[in-house]
Amino acid sequence: MTPKNAAAVSLGRKGGKARALSLTPEQRSEAARKAVEARWAKADKLIDEIKERSKKLEKRAVARLRKTKKGS
């Protein structure tokens, strides 16, 4: 593992706080709003994937059930 630059590490610790202090309240609000929208978009995508998989599983289950009823 390569040694880390102490100055870079020190600045890295200040990163988020220093950036927040340099932004106006409107800019912070905008950044927070974008972050929330990104999180919700990700959640919506996951929900859509789950619904799609559920539909596929339901179709398989119905097909198997019909197949077993024909064999009875």
14-69 per-position pLDDT tens digit: 778 888 889 999 999 999 999 999 999 999 999 999 999 999 999 999 999 988 88
pLDDT, residue 50, reads 96
Whether residue 12 has pLDDT greater than 80: no
Structural contact between residues 47 and 39, judged by C-beta atoms closer than 8 angstroms: no
3-state secondary structure of 3: coil
Whether residue 70 has pLDDT greater than 90: no
Q: Please list, in sequence order, all residues whose beta carbon lies within 8 angstroms of the beta carbon of residue 20, skipping any fewer than 6 positions away.
A: 28
